[in-house]
Structure 1
Amino acid sequence: MTRLSTGYTMPSLGFGTYQVPEADTASLVQQAFAVGYRHIDTAQMYGNETGVGRALVESGIPRESIFITTKLDNPNHEADKARESFAQSLRNLRTDYVDLFLIHWPLPMYYDGDFVSTFEVLESFMSEGRARSVGVSNFEIEHIEKLLAAGCSMPAVNQIEIHPYFQNREVVAFCREMGITVESWSPLGRGDDLKDPVIVDIARKHNVTAAQVVLAWHLAENFVAIPKSSSLDRQRENFDSLRVTLDGEDLAAIRGLDRGEAGRRSPHPNDFSKM
């Protein structure tokens, strides 16, 4: 478990639902619950909050035992749209609160670069008790500094791209200094990192899979990781990474795989403009 600056705890390994079709979401999330996951990550952009909500209700698991994250879609940054879409997210998820609500992308090229007023709306959700914690996703250092300069509260989480080939070190170091929990999306590097000889050798050494090595690295580095999989066996494999312990030599070898910007798989947040 990872303790957030808001005082709430967040399971350090979650189940991601990016690109999971709405028709498949409920069954896959139910499957994840059966494996043992209690942290589900979704987003308005993914179009599958309804499936997550169905799985949440049908699971019979007490609501307080499940950590739900969703994110504000890019066209919804304006205050009224943010409020309307958040209310719809709660209806979709069939809950009266989410554990974590994030701005999905900063979009400095839109809304006159004003994500500050958007974050202030998120803060109101927290003060109303409809979001236990709020944060950001894909924010660079300058974006967070802009929030703080405007008097906003510290984001509880920054969910960013991190995997062995792209370790996003400057942003990670800044977040650590500010007490912001770092959450990794695409923690397995879309599979490319798993083929690296360093990862493969470490997997052989510990008699585990390459994916388990990479997820164990995330956990050892105190990142929250949200891998996704439609396969029950792979869900179990990923979850079992909680039992894998890497030594100092392993961690140093994986740190050495960082390619900096060359390893980034997604657009830089200052360039991402999908609406």
Structure 2
Amino acid sequence: MSIPMPAIGLGTFRLQGQTVIDSVRSGLELGYRHIDTAQIYANEAEVGLAIAESSVARDQLFITTKIWTENLAAEKLIPSLEDSLARLRVEHVDLTLIHWPSPGEAVPLAESLMALQEAKRRGLTRQIGVSNFTIAHLQQAIALLGADEIATNQVELHPLLQNRKLAGFARAQGIHLTAYMPLAYGKVLAEPVVQRIAAAHDATPAQVALAWLLQQDHAVIPSSTRRENLASNLAAARLHLSAAERAEIAACDRGERMANPDFAPRWD
């Protein structure tokens, strides 16, 4: 059985080599139990090394990886996931996501999802889900699998990009969201409203932004290379924002998207 997804995870996007080893090692020592990586990050082996060298038992960890767009075809998806497992030094991951919808719909979504479901049947992954899916993509996935089979949709979500249409649709369908780039590469930390609320709580701006997401029942996967920031982010779970404070943060939305590659879908 898989453990439930911890609400605060450790993101590893853009972390390479010894940097990611140190980040994951510190995170595990501090109490993180949710580690997020991806094939395209080119750091699965280093993440696996840090996990293998830690004293944390495998059954206490929730490990997520993501299938890259080049591996979405039926004949490639499972072999690529098996390669990911070898790099991670584990027999299974807890969650496997389609990282991005197939650019230009080159691979039909049904093909990728059926292969992903087969990977789950084989025990290679405990749960399956999606990432960067629009409402239209989610509708397709729900029609193919049922909403209960989609563990999460991992999307960019932070006070400057609140994705309200998508979030509303997901909530109505009972689909959980995981917020990546929850601090918008630090841009959120400079928001006067966030800073003021942080000062009122004797908290950091990062803790306020993460608490705002957590209180909406989203998971968050911030990343950091600094041990003190890793510890501080984890403490966001203990911060409670009032309804008025949450409304002030909600007013910061300006559709400011950080992740928008040329192959991205047409956003909602």
The letter of the residue matching 2:176 is: T
The letter of the residue matching 1:199 is: V
The answer as to 2:162 corresponding to 1:167 is yes
The answer as to 2:257 corresponding to 1:264 is yes
The letter of the residue matching 1:115 is: L
The letter of the residue matching 1:192 is: K
The answer as to 2:125 corresponding to 1:131 is yes
Structure 1: distance between partners of 2:37 and 2:245: 31
The letter of the residue matching 1:177 is: A
Contact 1:216–1:244 (8 Å) recurs in 2: yes
Contact 2:69–2:103 (8 Å) recurs in 1: no
The SS at the match of 2:20 is helix
Name the residue aligned to 1:49.
44
**Matching of residues 57-72 of structure 1 within 5 Å:** 57-72=52-67
The answer as to 2:142 corresponding to 1:148 is yes
Q: How many pairs does the alignment contain?
A: 263
The letter of the residue matching 2:181 is: S
Q: Cα deviations across residues 91-114 of structure 1 (Å, max 9, x unaligned)?
A: 1111111000000000341415x1
**Root mean square deviation of aligned Cα:** 1.7
Name the residue aligned to 1:248.
243
Deviation at 1:60, TM superposition (A): 2.1
The SS at the match of 2:47 is helix
**Matching of residues 78-227 of structure 1 within 5 Å:** 78-111=73-106, 114-149=108-143, 151-154=144-147, 155-227=150-222
Structure 2: distance between partners of 1:137 and 1:58: 29
Deviation at 1:22, TM superposition (A): 2.8
Structure 2: distance between partners of 1:195 and 1:60: 37
Contact 2:66–2:99 (8 Å) recurs in 1: yes
Q: Cα deviations across residues 152-174 of structure 1 (Å, max 9, x unaligned)?
A: 24311100000001010111111
Structure 2: distance between partners of 1:158 and 1:184: 9
Q: TM-score normalised to the size of structure 2?
A: 0.94
The letter of the residue matching 2:121 is: S
Deviation at 1:115, TM superposition (A): 2.0
| 2:232 aligns with one of 232, 237, 251 | 237
Structure 2: distance between partners of 1:128 and 1:84: 12
The SS at the match of 1:10 is coil
* Cα 1:81–1:23 shift into 2, 3 Å: farther
Structure 2: distance between partners of 1:231 and 1:60: 21
Q: Cα deviations across residues 220-272 of structure 1 (Å, max 9, x unaligned)?
A: 1111000000011111111111221111111111111112xx32222173169
Contact 1:22–1:47 (8 Å) recurs in 2: no
Structure 1 ranges of 4+ moved more than 6 A: none
* Cα 1:23–1:81 shift into 2, 3 Å: farther
Deviation at 1:7, TM superposition (A): 8.2
Contact 1:16–1:227 (8 Å) recurs in 2: yes
Structure 2: distance between partners of 1:172 and 1:156: 15
Unaligned runs of 5+ in 1: 1-5
Contact 1:77–1:118 (8 Å) recurs in 2: yes
The letter of the residue matching 2:66 is: K
Structure 2: distance between partners of 1:142 and 1:174: 10
